[in-house]
Amino acid sequence: MAESKGSQDAKGQQQPTPSGTAGARRTGWSRWRPYSTAIVGVAAVFAVSAVIGSHVRGGETTNVKIPNGMPSTAPQDLAVPVKPAVPVTVTVYEDLRDPQSKAFAEQWKPTFDNLLDSGRAEIAYRLVTTSDTAHGGKGALYAANAAACAQDQGKAQFVSYVNELWKKQPADITDDKFASLPYLEKLGHHVHDMQASLFVPCVQSLDHQGWVRASQADYTKAGLGAVPVIQINGTTVNPLQQHLTPAKLDALVKKALGQVMASASPTPAAS
């Protein structure tokens, strides 16, 4: 998962809030440790979250709750943008349960980092659930929901959490390991500045499953085929079928930029 080194979190994203007084600064998961009374309180929170999550999971949630810090207009609101904002957007469709998506993400990370750092393109990630449809289970759905919960706390948390999912992805796509909500919550421990008090209830209640389902429905409707797939300003490229290379991608980005610049240029007045 690529991340721009020079950009800041998108405006409107919820950032972890420092707590405590003078002395060591405690944030994120460290807040859960101090006192036995707090542990009892946390246990109660978990119990309530589990009940809420069970209730929500009993039905098919269709409410589309967009993660924080994202555009509020379709179809951009289905893709998680990684800044900077430039005229060319490379949209990457990936399934967090799918080994081919993982291999693509790892192979192309240097190329995407280069595009971001050079300011030539914005990268946007679309999370889909084709593996759930093909092999049964809800691992891709639950993993994508958890990634959206990380996005609620910031771009850095989203990128870091998705990288954790890649690291822990089962080698066998039929293994629905990500269907375990406690396991997805546990992976949040490895994400810097992730606030458990926000992340855990979001994962338990599947806050963003409607948003993930909308992304998959739009992907299916578009008939884009198997992941991984990328789009450059809306033009679809299948990296595997079209033997895409970093050089070819760079040429396509330059071509897209040229088209944007040409369309933005004023038409000379008739003499």
Q: How far apart are CA 253 and CA 115, in angstroms?
A: 9
Summarize pLDDT for 90-121 with one digit per residue, the tens: 999 999 999 999 999 999 999 999 998 888 89
In the block, which residue shows the tokens 């989203």? 158
Examine the pLDDT at 52 and tell me if it is beyond 90. no
Summarize pLDDT for 196-217 with one digit per residue, the tens: 999 999 999 999 999 999 999 9
Summarize pLDDT for 139-149 with one digit per residue, the tens: 999 999 999 99
Mean pLDDT of 167-190: 97
Give the best-scoring range by mean pLDDT among 48-57, 61-70, 169-178.
169-178
pLDDT recorded at residue 3: 64
Phi-psi region of 194 (alpha: psi -120 to 50; beta: other; left: phi over 0): beta
Mean pLDDT of 245-259: 93
Q: Which fold has domain 62-262?
A: Glutaredoxin (3.40.30)
Examine the pLDDT at 84 and tell me if it is beyond 60. no
Picking from 151, 123, 149, 201, the residue whose alpha carbon sits closest to that of residue 12 is 151
Phi and psi torsions of 131, nearest 5°: -70, -35
- Domain residue spans of the chain: 62-262
Examine the pLDDT at 66 and tell me if it is beyond 60. yes
Q: In the chain, what percentage of residues exceed pLDDT 70?
A: 70
With helix as H, strand as E and coil as C, how does the chain read?
CCCCCCCCCCCCCCCCCCECCCCCCECHHHHHCCCHHHHHHHHHHHHHHHHHHHHHHCCCCCCCCCCCCCCCCCCHHHCEEECCCCCCEEEEEECCCCHHHHHHHHHHHHHHHHHHHHCCCEEEEEECCHHHHHHCCCHHHHHHHHHHHHHCCCHHHHHHHHHHHHHHCCCCCCCCHHHCHHHHHHHHHHCCCCCHHHHHHHHHCCCCHHHHHHHHHHHHHHCCCCCCEEEECCEEECCCCCCCCHHHHHHHHHHHHHHHHHHHCCCCCCC
Picking from 219, 177, 184, 178, the residue whose alpha carbon sits closest to that of residue 204 is 184
